[in-house]
Structure 1
Amino acid sequence: MECITWFAPILPGKLEAWKAVDAEMSGARAADYKRSRERIGMTREVASLMQTPQGDFVCLFHEAEDLAQAYRSIATSDDPFDVWFREQLVELHGLTPEMLQGPPPAQLTFDYKAG
């Protein structure tokens, strides 16, 4: 199992829109979100809001058997939820599908696990 943490900026003026999308993914779109993550092989995804003097960020933790494949799947899927999700990535974070087609968007430098 692979895991990674990374940050994505919430573009200036987009915080309320980000909060609305976050609520939508755990509300009206929850079933579609769950199906999407199961389909791409994502076993865990955690998102946290971090507000700093440099701006707002979403802090992400992702876990999957193959993270690069999971990201490629999100970037290329024609599933309606995945298409909508990619549109949100561009609009709220400035992340394009091309940015997700390579290795995970962060480099793992340290990983401690008990046991």
Structure 2
Amino acid sequence: MSNFVAFALPILQGKEADWKKWHDELRTSRYDDFVDSRKKMNIHERTFLQHTPMGDMVIVTLEGDDPQGAFAKLASNQDEFTKWFIANVKNLHGVDLSQPMPGPAPEMIIDSNPSVLAS
């Protein structure tokens, strides 16, 4: 069975163009590195851009055997791609992925598939 977690991160005010440039690079010249990184962590990551009246947000979903554990794996990786990724998340979202995430993990509060909540 696969587990799933989702979280949202704001794009820091004034960083929208930098974020777009970073994600353009992530989807092109760095895409193979991104895919390899997530395979090593045994997760499937999806990222959504959400424009809101309060500013742009990024919604990230992680799916796999241990998506919460992927954060610890990411923090412990010292390869060039991971360092680049963590630095950009910190610069563009204000979150340091090399440290434990602040606060409790996101909590799923409703799911249209009752069998998911029962497991």
Amino acid in the other structure paired with 2:91: E
Match of 1:90 in 2: 90
After TM superposition, the runs of 4+ consecutive aligned structure 1 residues lying more than 4 A away are none
What's the secondary structure of 1:63's corresponding residue? Answer: strand
> Which entry has the higher C-alpha Rg, 1 or 2?
2
What's the secondary structure of 1:98's corresponding residue? Answer: coil
Q: TM-score, normalised by structure 1?
A: 0.87
Kindly, what percent of the aligned residue pairs are identical? 29
**Larger CA deviation: 44-53 vs 6-15:** 44-53
- Deviation, 1:25, is 1.1
Match of 2:46 in 1: 46
Is the Cα contact below 8 Å between 1:25 and 1:33 reproduced in 2? yes
Q: TM-score, normalised by structure 2?
A: 0.84
Unaligned runs of 5+ in 1: none
Per-residue CA distance 1:48-74 (angstroms, 9 max, x = gap): 111111111001111111012111111
Is the Cα contact below 8 Å between 1:9 and 1:57 reproduced in 2? yes
Supply the distance in 2 between the matched residues of 1:28 and 1:4 (Cα, whole angstroms): 27
Supply the distance in 2 between the matched residues of 1:53 and 1:11 (Cα, whole angstroms): 14
Per-residue CA distance 1:21-67 (angstroms, 9 max, x = gap): 1111110001111110001111x211111111111100111111101
2:48 is equivalent to residue 60 of structure 1: no
Match of 2:22 in 1: 21
Match of 2:12 in 1: 11
